[in-house]
Amino acid sequence: MTDVNAAFVRDLVGRGLERREAMWLVEEFSPGADADAARAVELAGTRRLAGEPLQYVIGHWPFRTLDLDVDLRVLIPRPETEELVSLALKALVSSQATSPLVFDMGCGSGAIGLSILSELAERGISATVVAVDSSIDALDVARRNAIKHALHAVSFVNSSWFKDLDPSLQGHVDLVVSNPPYVGESEFEALDPVLRHEPYGALVSPSSSGVEGFKDLEIVVRESINWLRPGGSLVCEHGSTQADAVVQLATSTGYANVVDVADMAGNARVLIARKPLT
Ligand SMILES: C[S@@+](CC[C@H](N)C(=O)[O-])C[C@H]1O[C@@H](n2cnc3c(N)ncnc32)[C@H](O)[C@@H]1O
């Protein structure tokens, strides 16, 4: 690091930023002697010191193999969702679909669908992704990320879940994958205030069937079965307290091979279920 940039780090640390984050911002904007970049790093420091998540301040963040643009319009993709993608890929590859059709429900930044598209392409499998979100702002970010990574086999649909999707696709989808909002309204109040910077509608879902934050999960689990082909998979992230309810719902909806997989911390967090072959 140059002496000039080291001085920027000292200044940010002096203003109260952690040294690691100060270095991150300086490396990102590399101010040096450039006046615009110097202003950018100062502004970034001010935003971070005001509590805005580092990912939004930097404006992009790694997710699996992709560097995704992120801003206040989308959820910051989480490490546990990287595990969801691993499980989704495993489900797809085991089904031996040669050119799978994938629905990414509630796509946000596009993290899940774009990763699946990109990682399947690395294995020589050309998938098609339909990325769905009720937020036009989120779709804008996802579209930009698709262009950034030259991922073209994806269409973006503004829809509340399955409502406005092409009905001719019913019964033809190989994989429905989703990380829907699942935080309960009252749980949200107790969460780290840093989460208040993320879109409320990306995190919080109303209660349903006596379970906090369950409404959107319930819709995705109930309706996916109509869109999956026989043998197709649903892979869905959920909250750690919702495992019993989501497994029960999937079983009573008529899915087969219903399992719930724990995350690295040992909490049940991902539902995997198949539409029966007959
Ligand atoms: C938890 S975020 C997940 C974002 C992204 N898939 C990820 O994992 O980083 C949930 C996403 O669902 C979207 N969403 C919320 N309600 C929806 C609805 N009724 N229909 C479609 N998408 C919805 C939100 O806008 C948000 O982008």
Q: Residue 240 sits in a domain of what CATH number?
A: 3.40.50.150
Query: Can you tell me the distance from the alpha carbon of 207 to that of 221, in angstroms, rounded to the nearest whole number?
Result: 15
Residue 31 contacts residue 40 (beta carbons within 8 Å): yes
**Residue finishing a domain among 31, 50, 69:** 50
Q: Are residues 17 and 90 in the same domain?
A: no
Nearest CA to ligand 1 atom 7: 77
1-10, 155-164, 258-267, range with greatest mean pLDDT: 155-164
**pLDDT band, residue 163 (cuts 50/70/90):** very high
The predicted-structure confidence for 169-208, as pLDDT tens digits, reads as follows 999 999 999 999 999 999 998 888 888 999 999 999 999 9
- Pocket test residue of 216, 219, 222, 237 for ligand 1, highest count of atoms within 8 A of CB: 216
Q: Are residues 17 and 77 in the same domain?
A: no
pLDDT at 33: 65
Domain assignment present for 55: no
Q: Is 124 helix (H, G, I), strand (E, B) or coil?
A: coil
Domain assignment present for 181: yes
Q: Are residues 95 and 219 in the same domain?
A: yes
The predicted-structure confidence for 215-269, as pLDDT tens digits, reads as follows 999 999 999 999 999 999 999 999 999 999 999 999 999 999 999 999 888 999 9
The predicted-structure confidence for 6-59, as pLDDT tens digits, reads as follows 888 999 999 999 999 999 999 888 766 678 888 889 999 999 999 999 999 999
pLDDT at 30: 77
Going from the Cα of 150 to the center of ligand 1, the distance in angstroms, rounded, reads 23
pLDDT at 31: 62
Q: Which two tokens stand for residue 160?
A: 């509340």
Going from the Cα of 266 to the center of ligand 1, the distance in angstroms, rounded, reads 24
Q: Are residues 141 and 177 in the same domain?
A: yes
Query: Can you tell me the distance from the alpha carbon of 132 to that of 158, in angstroms, rounded to the nearest whole number?
Result: 6
Q: Are residues 98 and 43 in the same domain?
A: no
Q: Are residues 140 and 181 in the same domain?
A: yes
The predicted-structure confidence for 52-110, as pLDDT tens digits, reads as follows 999 999 999 999 999 999 999 999 999 999 999 999 999 998 888 889 999 999 999 99
Q: Are residues 84 and 188 in the same domain?
A: yes
Q: Average pLDDT for residues 148-175, to the nearest whole number?
A: 98
The predicted-structure confidence for 112-135, as pLDDT tens digits, reads as follows 999 999 999 999 999 999 999 999
Query: Can you tell me the distance from the alpha carbon of 10 to that of 108, in angstroms, rounded to the nearest whole number?
Result: 36
Q: Which residue segment(s) compose the domain that 185 sits in?
A: 60-274
Q: Are residues 223 and 99 in the same domain?
A: yes
Q: Which two tokens stand for residue 247?
A: 């497994």
**Rounded to 5 degrees, what angle do the CA atoms 153, 158, 161 make?**
100
> Kind and range of the H or E element at 156?
strand 154-158
Give the total number of structural domains in the chain: 2
Residue 261 contacts residue 270 (beta carbons within 8 Å): yes
Q: Are residues 141 and 212 in the same domain?
A: yes
